[in-house]
């Protein structure tokens, strides 16, 4: 079982977290192929004050990787040119190439887990103006006919979302019975794959007090409630719409294993308050786990050696656990000529 670890944005805490992770006891004895620029990883090791000396492999050696930790040096982002604490097209372009490369390794069946330390969506957009978010990029890179979803994972409660990286003003009009039902089905499927069959899902309302009898909006009655009913009819233990100011309170009291929220920060605020230093983002639905810490590039502390490893370590642990529970199958698409050097896949809007 092998992990592919893409080094995140060179201007953020991604390089130091990657370096720190590789020296952690949990990763010893684990096969890992690190993907990115050798000078960026070396910079991260300096900032994290750890010693790293990984054997370097080239793109044409990936079919026969040695065991242990190796570095696939893409030479795509000389650290000397990196400005810490800032978005840049150079760092964004390297992130896109690192990400595309680890995804292709997974699709080829060479790795079982895809992991990345934080990317910066602004850098990626500077490099590629059509870039929106990771889901859209993954769909295009893998030519996937089904979009996955992001889950925020803490051991005590999981959080899935119906919409993700879209403007808040578009949330209400994006909700539909089918979209919410699809999210509930995927949440049940992914949690069963994580060893939690029959997970009880609390479905957050959109409006204050779930609309309070249509006083403040109709979506809770007309869209969320029918979706929950349809899910229950399929055997998914869903409850809702539950007023969103108390749905996480009820989850932490043991009533729900997961909460499905209607938009990004409805869940993120609660989850990050509950466990910022151990929160994981799992991108599921592609046949192999894609994991990353739930926090971002932390430009304000980049290069200072202050970044906490907790969430990155939990991401690695979750990815490895999920891959062991669900051995990958069907990921055998051969790598094309120039696979790690060609133009990265174009991204499209992922207005989920
Ligand atoms: N895993 C990933 O790839 C993620 C990437 N992002 C991206 O990161 C960029 C910046 O996002 P922000 O909203 O500013 O959030 P952020 O998580 O980067 O920073 C928020 C605050 O948390 C602190 N922080 C974050 N990680 C920390 C750590 N490991 N140890 C100690 N303190 C930490 C930062 O110093 C900052 O004060 C955006 O482009 C966003 O899209 C955001 C979340 C996840
Ligand atoms: N880069 C991973 C990702 O997008 C998940 O984090 P968040 O932006 O949804 O917080």
Q: Is the ipTM of this complex over 0.85?
A: yes
The response to whether residue 120 sits with its C-beta less than 6 Å from ligand 1 reads yes
Taking the model in full, what pTM does it have? 0.94
Map tokens 């051995």 to a residue: 327
Instruction: Work out which ligand 1 atom sits closest to the CA atom of 165.
Output: 41
- Mean pLDDT of all residues in 323-328: 86
What distance in Å separates the CA atoms of residue 229 and residue 239, rounded to the nearest whole number?
9
Per-residue tokens: 95: 């992130």
**Do the bridges between strand 149-153 and strand 158-161 make them parallel or antiparallel, or are there none, so unpaired?**
antiparallel
Predicted confidence (pLDDT) per residue in 180-190, tens digit: 999 999 999 99
Distance in Å, CA 291 to ligand 1 centroid: 15
pLDDT at 34 over 50: yes
Q: Closest-lying ligand to the alpha carbon of 9?
A: 1
CATH numbers and ranges of domains, the chain: 1-152+278-352 (3.40.718.10), 156-275 (3.40.718.10)
pLDDT at 332 over 90: no
pLDDT at 274 over 60: yes
Instruction: Work out which ligand 2 atom sits closest to the CA atom of 281.
Output: 5
Q: For residue 308, report the phi and psi dihedrals to the nearest 5 degrees.
A: -75, 135
Instruction: Work out which ligand 2 atom sits closest to the CA atom of 135.
Output: 4
The response to whether residue 298 sits with its C-beta less than 6 Å from ligand 1 reads yes
The response to whether residue 301 sits with its C-beta less than 6 Å from ligand 1 reads yes
pLDDT at 347 over 60: no
Q: Closest-lying ligand to the alpha carbon of 48?
A: 1
Distance in Å, CA 51 to ligand 1 centroid: 25
Q: Specify the 3-state DSSP secondary structure of 340.
A: coil
What distance in Å separates the CA atoms of residue 105 and residue 315, rounded to the nearest whole number?
19
The response to whether residue 133 sits with its C-beta less than 6 Å from ligand 2 reads yes
Q: Closest-lying ligand to the alpha carbon of 299?
A: 1
Predicted confidence (pLDDT) per residue in 197-222, tens digit: 999 999 999 999 999 999 999 999 99
Cis peptide bond prior to 241, omega within 30° of 0: yes
pLDDT at 92 over 60: yes
The response to whether residue 150 sits with its C-beta less than 6 Å from ligand 2 reads yes
pLDDT at 196 over 60: yes
Q: Report the greatest alpha carbon distance in the chain.
A: 63
Q: How confident is the model at residue 348 (pLDDT cuts 50, 70, 90)?
A: very low
> Atom 12 (ligand 1): residue with closest C-alpha?
296
What distance in Å separates the CA atoms of residue 310 and residue 315, rounded to the nearest whole number?
9
Strand partners, 150: 283
Neighbours of 23 (CB within 10 A): 15
**Do the bridges between strand 201-204 and strand 258-261 make them parallel or antiparallel, or are there none, so unpaired?**
parallel
What distance in Å separates the CA atoms of residue 235 and residue 155, rounded to the nearest whole number?
24
């Amino acid at each position: 079982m092998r992990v592919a670890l893409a080094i995140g944005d060179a201007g953020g805490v991604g390089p130091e977290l990657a370096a720190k992770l590789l020296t952690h006891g949990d990763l010893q004895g684990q096969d890992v192929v690190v993907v990115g620029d050798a000078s960026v990883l070396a910079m991260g090791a300096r900032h994290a004050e750890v010693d790293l000396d990984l054997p370097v492999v080239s793109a044409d050696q990936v079919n026969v990787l040695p065991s242990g930790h190796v570095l696939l040096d893409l030479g795509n982002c000389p650290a000397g040119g990196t400005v810490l604490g800032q978005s840049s097209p150079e760092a964004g372009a390297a992130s896109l190439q690192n990400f595309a490369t680890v995804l292709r390794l997974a699709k080829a069946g060479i790795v079982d887990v895809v992991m990345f330390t934080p990317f910066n969506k602004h850098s990626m957009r500077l490099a590629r103006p059509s870039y929106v978010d990771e889901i859209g990029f993954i769909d295009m890179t893998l030519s996937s006919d089904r979009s996955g979803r992001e889950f925020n994972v803490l051991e005590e409660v999981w959080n899935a979302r119906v919409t993700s990286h879209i403007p808040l003003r578009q949330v209400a009009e994006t909700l539909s019975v089918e979209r919410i039902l699809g999210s509930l089905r995927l949440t049940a499927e992914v949690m069963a794959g994580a060893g939690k069959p029959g997970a009880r899902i609390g479905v957050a309302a959109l409006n204050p007090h779930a609309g309070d009898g249509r006083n403040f909006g109709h979506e809770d009655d007309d869209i969320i409630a029918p979706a929950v009913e349809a899910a229950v009819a399929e055997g998914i233990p869903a409850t809702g719409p539950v007023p969103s100011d108390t749905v996480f309170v009820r989850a932490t009291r043991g009533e729900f294993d997961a909460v499905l929220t209607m938009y990004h920060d409805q869940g993120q605020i609660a989850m990050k308050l509950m466990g910022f230093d151990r929160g994981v983002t799992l991108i599921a639905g592609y046949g192999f786990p894609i994991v990353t810490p739930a926090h971002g590039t932390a430009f304000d502390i980049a290069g200072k050696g202050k970044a906490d490893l907790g969430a990155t370590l939990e991401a690695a642990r979750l990815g490895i656990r999920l891959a062991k529970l669900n051995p990958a199958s069907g990921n055998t698409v051969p790598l094309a000529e120039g696979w790690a050097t060609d133009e990265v896949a174009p991204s499209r809007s992922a207005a989920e």
